[in-house]
Amino acid sequence: MAAKVAVVTGASAGVGRETARLLAERGYDVALLARGEEGLRAAAREVEGRGQRALVAPTDVADAGAVEAAAAATEAELGPIDVWVNNAMVSVLAEVRDLEPEELHRVTDVTYHGAVHGTLSALRRMVPRDHGTIVQVGSALAYRAIPLQAPYCAAKHALRGFTDSLRCELRARGSRVRLTHVHLPAVNTPQFGWVRTRLGRHPMPVPPIYTPRVAAGAVVWSAEHGGRRELFVGWSALLTVAANKLAPGLLDWHLARTGFDSQQTDEPLDRDRPDNLFEPVPGDAGADGRFTDRARSRTWQPPYAGRRALAAGVAGAAAAAAVALARR
């Protein structure tokens, strides 16, 4: 029996790297797309070490032609694509007034347009076959923006709108191509070691922090249970979305008070550190970042959030959180 085939963007590090490992464990051959060739080669060794084939495809997903070429190479080398995971991202941590136009364009081109390019390449192959699953890796920040991450939040909001439109179109055509969106909490990835920033201290994910394996587990589960419209991973993602619906003004106030310090450690920033906005940082960073001692290795979901029985509890918890915020 032929192996299933998956494409993962942003596969050289972080959630994408762990997703490729888990897909290989589930019997998928994996095409690995990213800019960093050392990380891609290491990821390929991990896939092959799990008994599956790997295709290394150095690709900047902001380039639609490069993404399409990688899709064609995947099908020529590995076979028809069953799953496409859009995970690649970059960001800039800074106040809006300090951002440069080219930085805004770059974050949008990778984080939003990169996912659009991947989706279009997947659709060109999946729609004629009437088979396949596209997984958009989103974030709680696709529903609730926070300070210092305006370009990234905007890109994730845009991807959610694009995905909702596409979902309606596929349904109208009776297509069996499946489309799902996985919204992640804060994850301990190398992103915080190489993100471009104008903060005074070292960047960090907003606690609670989860391991990349938790996030990747949700992505792979979603790929194999593509009927789920959206998945929210971890209480923090669910509560963020619910609280924003119930009391967005209170959340504005709370984030204005806490959103700056919660994204920085006490460690002064090394101003000479390289960032990966326009070029990949050399080396193999692996899947995990520097906050392993603070990262949670499991979530409460059975197996993942989204069921009606959980929704009522989340709404109640969010209401309690809103009351608590109001009293602070």
Backbone φ and ψ for 229, nearest 5 degrees, come out as -65, -50
For residue 126, what are the contacts with CB-CB under 8 A and spacing of at least 6? 81, 84, 132, 134, 177
- Neighbouring C-beta atoms of residue 323, cutoff 10 Å: 12
Residues forming the active site: 152
Angle at 296 between CA 86 and CA 85, to 5 degrees: 10
* Three-state DSSP state, 281: coil
Cα–Cα distance, 17 to 45 (Å, whole number): 11
DSSP string, 141-210: GGTS--TT-HHHHHHHHHHHHHHHHHHHHHHHTT---EEEEEEE-EE--THHHHSEE--SEEE-PPSSEE
What letter represents residue 203's amino acid?
P
Per the omega criterion (within 30 degrees of 0), is the bond before 80 cis? no
Q: How far is CA 152 from the centre of its chain?
A: 11
DSSP summary character for residue 293: G
Are the C-beta atoms of residues 81 and 125 closer than 8 Å to each other?
yes
